Amino acid sequence: MYLVVVLFVLGSAAGFQGFDRLDLPENHIPYYFNSFPEVADKCRQEDGCPYKDKLDTKKCWGYEFGCKPADSFARPVCLGEHKGWVKSKEDQINTFYSQGDFGYIRDQLHEMSVMCEPYFKEDSSLECSKHLRFCRGRNIMINFTSLVNRKERLRYKMDVLSEGDIGGHCRLHKQRLMDECDHISPLQSWGPELRLFSERDKVPIGNDCDVIVEKPTYLMKIDASVNMYHHFCDFFNLYASQHVNSSHPDTFSKDVHMLIWESYTYYSSFTSAWDVFTKHKLWDLNTFKGKVVCFKNLVFPLLPRMIFGLYYNTPLIWGCQKSGLFSAFSQHLLHRLKIPRHKVEDKRLRVTLLSRDTTYRNILNEKELIASLKNNTNYHVRRVVYNRNMPFTKQLEITHNSDIFIGIHGAGLTHLLFLPDWAVIFELYNCEDEGCYYDLARLRGVKYMTWKDKTKLKQQDKGHHPDGGAHAKFTNYEFDVKEFLRLVGLAAKYIKEQESYKEFLRADLHDEL
Ligand SMILES: *[C@@H]1O[C@H](CO)[C@@H](O)[C@H](O)[C@H]1NC(C)=O
Ligand SMILES: *[C@@H]1O[C@H](CO)[C@@H](O)[C@H](O)[C@H]1NC(C)=O
Ligand SMILES: *[C@@H]1O[C@H](CO)[C@@H](O)[C@H](O)[C@H]1NC(C)=O
């Protein structure tokens, strides 16, 4: 299930300038809401549209040509040391901005170059960013005829297509394309598919196709749909890709198709997250098996396992947090899924403890920890089990209405993406995987805490990795109650100091703080 990702230092970007671009950056629209009055009006009328306060300002996302940092949606906060990677504070901010914020989108846009050039307006075309991480095409033919002969089920496969199975009527820059086919691995780039791209004699539509797909279609090579951390990496990259292609008012339209690049029937507890992106039924490779299909508008989105991609294994500079791209993703998702924000009636902090119903990484003295929290009248405590018995949107609702979210290391902590801005994520114990949720919390801009004093926790046994051997993730834990309360107390103190929290209370309780 988990693919190995090899990190290596990328070569210089020299020699990649001066390519003709179809429509970037000159025609790229600077101010999203101002450029498209109909989009702004819709937001104005819509209940809970997260961008209402940006409508009559010059705000831009940050990647647009001509968008000034001061006008951008958000800037990262870099209070800490950078630990020697860069020279100045400004460098540190910019580095984080490129690694994990809208700067990442900006770089994709700058890298975009034409791989297959149209001869005339209605012709085929293909453009991609470096290493074929993101591409988009018009009037593209994909020949799925030979899939009828495939007996095995397809997932993480690089040989879904063969030479000539994908192409269009346009002038192919073969060498340019091949030069970018250097990340050949199923979920790292579109190289495995696009290295097979070929020129067709005629415009495919009207000549080759059994099926014509008029609406924009996203090809989705997804990671593990059973695991929230990995599957949300798919959704996150889909959202980021919409920004890469955001030069028109329909950027976030749900009238688009999703074609999952697998012949397994899609199943996931997180299925409802697709409602954010499409109102149509999901397609997979079986949908078109045996057919020649022409896509008028095709998007090859950013992928979940890209080298230096987001957010799996992303190298992040020290000392910075709060990515606007991540908070925009969180807001967009909560808004589209209509996750309500509850009014509070008192000043108690809402503490949620995520309990696992799994064999490993259980809290052995969970009852005791819960009782100790409940004994404190400043906390409103809730123990939850997020499994298939609770709809995913209900889970999000609980998370979104929590101030302190506590759980032991596990994919469920990905819920931190949907906490309010002032919240604390308390990874009770990280099971020796230190970076994973710490970095995700930094990107999202919520405060991260974890257990430090190992003398105050008891590991049940050495752990039993399925492949044999000891492993900190394959056992259970008991925690010292006093130390636990002390840490939760620190979280509570932090939250009460946050301006955003004070404002939130003020709005609901109408009293002086
Ligand atoms: C599609 O592929 C099949 C076999 O793989 C081939 O016979 C057919 O000619 C192809 N169709 C087009 C339009 O290229
Ligand atoms: C992507 O951008 C292109 C060029 O602006 C546009 O024609 C196309 O409709 C966009 N696709 C999607 C899916 O938004
Ligand atoms: C509850 O708090 C009181 C006073 O702070 C303490 O004496 C008592 O032991 C606590 N009980 C639990 C179950 O933690």
Q: Residue with the nearest Cα to atom 2 of ligand 1?
A: 145
CA distance 26 to 425: 42
Q: ω into residue 104 within 30 of 0, thus cis?
A: no
- Fold classification of 339-512 is Rossmann fold (3.40.50)
Chain mean pLDDT for the chain: 90
Q: For residues 241 and 256, is the Cβ–Cβ distance under 8 A?
A: no
Q: Determine which of 24-38, 357-371, 454-468, 476-490 has the lowest per-residue pLDDT on average.
A: 24-38
CA distance 457 to 455: 6
Residue corresponding to tokens 């190289």: 191
Q: Residue with the nearest Cα to atom 12 of ligand 3?
A: 372
Q: Where are the domains of the chain?
A: 2-300, 339-512
Q: Is pLDDT of 260 > 90?
A: yes
SS3 297: strand
Per-residue pLDDT, 478: 95
What does residue 139 show for φ and ψ, rounded to 5 degrees?
50, 60
Give the tens place of pLDDT for each residue, 32-45: 666 778 888 888 89
Tokens standing for residue 393: 């949107």
Q: For residues 472 and 459, is the Cβ–Cβ distance under 8 A?
A: yes
CA distance 481 to 479: 6
- In 81-183, at which residue ranges do the beta strands (DSSP E only) sit? 113-117, 125-128, 135-143, 166-168, 171-172
Per-residue pLDDT, 95: 94
| Residues lining ligand 2, Cβ inside 6 A | 23, 136, 216, 245, 247-248, 250-251, 256, 297, 299
The DSSP H or E segment spanning 37 is helix 37-45
Q: pLDDT-based confidence at 85, cuts 50/70/90?
A: low
Q: For residues 426 and 449, is the Cβ–Cβ distance under 8 A?
A: yes
Q: pLDDT-based confidence at 481, cuts 50/70/90?
A: very high
Give the tens place of pLDDT for each residue, 284-340: 999 999 999 999 999 999 999 999 999 998 999 999 999 999 999 999 999 999 999
Q: Is pLDDT of 506 > 70?
A: yes
- If one residue of 23, 28, 105, 136 were mutated to test the ligand 2 pocket, choosing by the most ligand atoms within 8 A of its CB, it would be 136
Per-residue pLDDT, 443: 98
Q: pLDDT-based confidence at 512, cuts 50/70/90?
A: low
CA distance 116 to 125: 5
DSSP states of 379-439 as a string? EEEEEEE-STTS-HHHHHHHHHT-SEEEE-SSGGGGGGGGS-TT-EEEES--TT--SHHHH
Residue corresponding to tokens 């974890």: 450
Beta bridge partners of 259: 219, 283
Ligand 2 center to residue 185 CA distance, Å?
26
Q: pLDDT-based confidence at 31, cuts 50/70/90?
A: low
Q: pLDDT-based confidence at 380, cuts 50/70/90?
A: very high
Per-residue pLDDT, 331: 94
CA distance 265 to 285: 9
Q: Residue with the nearest Cα to atom 3 of ligand 2?
A: 245
CA distance 52 to 49: 6
Q: What is the pTM of this model?
A: 0.92
In terms of Cα–Cα distance, which of 474, 482, 431 is closest to 456?
482
Q: Residue with the nearest Cα to atom 1 of ligand 2?
A: 245
The DSSP H or E segment spanning 330 is helix 324-336
SS3 4: coil
> Is beta strand 320-321 parallel, antiparallel or unpaired with respect to 77-78?
antiparallel
Tokens standing for residue 487: 């840490």
- In 129-254, at which residue ranges do the beta strands (DSSP E only) sit? 135-143, 166-168, 171-172, 197-199, 211-213, 217-220
Q: Is pLDDT of 15 > 60?
A: no
Q: Residue range 220-236: average pLDDT? A: 97
Query: Ligand 1: does its nearest atom lie under 6 Å from the Cβ of 198?
Result: no
